């Protein structure tokens, strides 16, 4: 693997290797300390970030690399300077380039013009680092290959990466979305027989994992009111959560809009794993950096 732009880049063996490494790093956070000493990792943020930025900076430092944080207003990507020129310049300075962007095409442009590994920290099409942490969290409860996951809500970038990851590991996922908000067909085809797309909430019955995300992502604020009305039946409350299996866990990639897509009693439920999931972002990105650069 030279770049990590989508979960599919890993293949089944690569994803399994990454999950095993991430689990080992969680068990021993000091493992591989200093392994990337002398390396520099560029972290570009076109969108605001909490978990992604902190997990990436801490991960880099703990394995000895130096994180270089770049903000949108500093770089002027595609405005003050072309994407190709920025990629060529940063490639001369840095050992890896990790980017959180609005448009997925920027990642592809970077990968085309930089020899250093390019990592997708989030785009409008995929959120692959999040998916690795999600899958690790699921496996802490039950093997993926025997799990049924219900993703409830907007068929967005998080849903895309999750579908592909579960398919690679032999699990089953049901994307339960309002009509018109289903996942992109490209990712449905990539996930193949592992995914069912439906608007029927009965698909939640008996599942092992119930996962949701915000109804309105950054850049969609103008649609917020309309989306609230459309997505209201898909709110994960205690009644909906109880339709999963007796030991079903709840996941959310955060930040959560409590009272909107999920209620407090589910977010704080004894079987909610959202903060384990957030912690696993750190171990996943550390495993990825080691896999690409060590």
Span 195-214, pLDDT tens digits: 999 999 999 999 999 999 99
- Whether 105 is catalytic: no
Domain assignments of the chain as residue spans, ordered by start: 7-127+280-293, 141-272
Give alpha helix (H) positions in the chain.
11-27, 51-62, 72-75, 83-93, 104-113, 128-139, 157-168, 185-191, 224-231, 238-241, 264-267, 274-293
Which residue in the list 213, 227, 235, 252 is annotated as catalytic? 213
| pTM given for the model | 0.96
Q: What average pLDDT does the structure give for the chain?
A: 96
Share of residues in the chain with pLDDT > 90 (%):
92
pLDDT of 78 higher than 80: no
- Whether 66 is catalytic: no
CATH fold for domain 7-127+280-293? Rossmann fold (3.40.50)
Q: Which two tokens stand for residue 235?
A: 């709110």
Q: Hey, CA dihedral for 255, 218, 190, 286, is it positive or negative? A: negative
Residues in the chain: 294
Give domain 141-272's CATH architecture. 3-Layer(aba) Sandwich (3.40)
- Whether 243 is catalytic: no
- Whether 72 is catalytic: no
Which residue in the list 32, 51, 127, 227 is annotated as catalytic? 127
Q: Answer whether 7-127+280-293 and 141-272 agree in fold.
A: yes
Angular region, 166: left φ>0, alpha ψ -120 to 50, beta rest = alpha
Which residue in the list 51, 235, 281, 283 is annotated as catalytic? 281
pLDDT at 74: 82
Which residue in the list 253, 273, 277, 283 is annotated as catalytic? 253
- Whether 104 is catalytic: no
- Whether 213 is catalytic: yes
Better-scored residue on pLDDT, 159 or 48? 159
């Amino acid at each position: 693997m030279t770049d990590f732009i989508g979960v599919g880049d890993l293949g089944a063996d690569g994803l399994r290797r990454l999950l095993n490494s991430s689990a080992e790093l969680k068990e021993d956070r000091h493992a591989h300390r200093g392994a990337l000493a002398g390396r520099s990792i560029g972290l570009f943020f076109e969108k605001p970030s909490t978990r992604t930025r902190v997990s990436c900076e801490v991960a880099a430092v703990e394995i000895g690399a130096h994180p270089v944080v770049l903000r949108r207003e500093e770089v002027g990507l595609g405005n003050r300077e072309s994407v190709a020129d920025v990629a060529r310049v940063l490639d001369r300075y840095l050992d890896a380039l990790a980017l959180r962007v609005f448009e997925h095409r920027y990642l592809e442009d970077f990968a085309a013009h930089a020899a250093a590994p390019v990592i997708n920290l989030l785009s409008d099409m995929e959120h692959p680092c999040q998916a690795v942490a999600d899958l690790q969290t699921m496996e802490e409860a039950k093997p993926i290959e025997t799990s049924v996951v219900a993703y409830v809500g907007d068929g967005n970038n998080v849903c895309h990466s999750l579908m592909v990851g579960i398919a690679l590991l032999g699990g089953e996922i049901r994307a339960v979305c309002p009509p018109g908000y289903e996942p992109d067909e490209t990712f449905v085809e990539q996930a193949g027989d592992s995914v069912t797309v439906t608007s029927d909430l009965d698909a939640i019955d008996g599942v092992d994992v119930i996962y949701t995300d915000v109804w309105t992502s950054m850049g969609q604020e103008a649609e917020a009111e309309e989306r609230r009305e459309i997505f209201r039946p898909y709110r994960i409350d205690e009644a909906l959560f109880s339709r999963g299996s007796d030991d079903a866990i709840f996941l959310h990639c955060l930040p959560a809009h409590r009272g909107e897509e999920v209620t407090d009693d589910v977010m704080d439920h004894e079987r909610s794993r959202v903060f384990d999931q957030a912690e696993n972002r750190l171990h996943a990105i550390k495993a990825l950096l080691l896999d690409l650069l060590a």
